[in-house]
Amino acid sequence: MATRAEQKLKTRRALMDAALSQLSADRGFGSLSLREVAREAGIAPTSFYRHFAELDELGLALVDEGGVALRQLMRQARKRIARDGGSAIATSVETFMEYLGNNANLFRLMLRERTGVSTTFRTAVKAEIDHFVTELADDLRRIAEAQSKPLSESRLVAEAMVTLVFNQGAEALDATPREREELKVKLKTELRMILVGSQTLAKYRARSER
């Protein structure tokens, strides 16, 4: 039974990888067919249904995987910052670009389906982004308290940062190495501007309430 379960997981993984391998800057998930994904994975089309009810279910599994992978990487980045110090923004940007390099098609899928025609996909991507925003907002509040630098509307700050990161990530996907380095510098600066703006607004509000 264990061997059969392992084989099922292996085939499921092969199907997900097969779908990812078909994606590119010019081709989205909506253009894939069950038959070609099964063929790429090396199984009969009828066997596909042992693993997913339909192609969209496979796509949703990929969206979930993309969101989880990004959150795990960012958690690791936070641990490095806590252990070794350094700039939280710089480390986070470098970590995000590392994610892009290793998960380009997963990120393409999330970008496309974020504004795609499928309500189910849009809802799934929004849920992943909301998870990311929530974790970032919690981090921002914790860091602000530790540094005695209050933020105004930490949730809005997190939302602005995530939106910015996703937009710059879209540009970075097909950028040259030089362009990607320039985007990193630009992104770090823009994120610092958001952070400083929130800190400044918090100070202004504090003075106004006295």
Per-residue pLDDT of the chain (210 residues; tens, 9 = 90+): 558 888 899 999 999 999 999 998 888 898 999 999 999 999 999 999 999 999 999 999 999 999 999 888 888 888 887 777 778 889 899 999 999 999 999 999 998 888 888 899 999 999 999 999 999 999 899 888 988 999 999 999 999 999 999 999 999 998 999 999 999 999 999 999 999 999 999 998 888 876
- What pLDDT was estimated at residue 43? 94
Domain shared by 44 and 61, yes or no: no
Distance between CA atoms of 1 and 165, rounded to whole angstroms? 44
Domain shared by 92 and 61, yes or no: yes
Q: What angle do CA 178, 109, 14 make, to 5 degrees?
A: 105
Domain shared by 92 and 167, yes or no: yes
Compute the CA torsion angle 16, 38, 111, 156 (nearest 10 deg): -40
Distance between CA atoms of 126 and 94, rounded to whole angstroms? 23
Domain shared by 27 and 78, yes or no: no
Distance between CA atoms of 144 and 158, rounded to whole angstroms? 13
Domain shared by 44 and 99, yes or no: no
Distance between CA atoms of 95 and 73, rounded to whole angstroms? 7
- What pLDDT was estimated at residue 73? 87
pTM as predicted: 0.86
Domain shared by 2 and 101, yes or no: no
> Residue 49 gets which letter from DSSP?
G
- What pLDDT was estimated at residue 117? 82
Domain shared by 31 and 63, yes or no: no
- Say which CATH number the domain at 22 has: 1.10.10.60
Domain shared by 33 and 114, yes or no: no
- What pLDDT was estimated at residue 2? 56
Task: Find the domain containing 151 and state its range.
Answer: 56-209
- Say which CATH number the domain at 122 has: 1.10.357.10
Q: Is 10 exposed, middle or buried (0-12, 13-18, 19+ CB in 10 A)?
A: exposed
Neighbours of 155 (CB within 10 A): 15
Domain shared by 49 and 60, yes or no: no
For 141, residues 6+ apart whose C-beta sits below 8 A from its C-beta are 151, 154
Q: Is the dihedral of CA 42, 52, 170, 25 positive or negative?
A: positive
Domain shared by 125 and 167, yes or no: yes
> Residue 209 gets which letter from DSSP?
T
Token output for 179: 């362009």
From residue 206, give the alpha-carbon distance in Å to each of 154, 170, 209, 210. 15, 37, 5, 7
| Total number of domains constituting the chain | 2
- Comparing CA positions, the residue from 174, 71, 63, 175 lying closest to residue 114 is 63
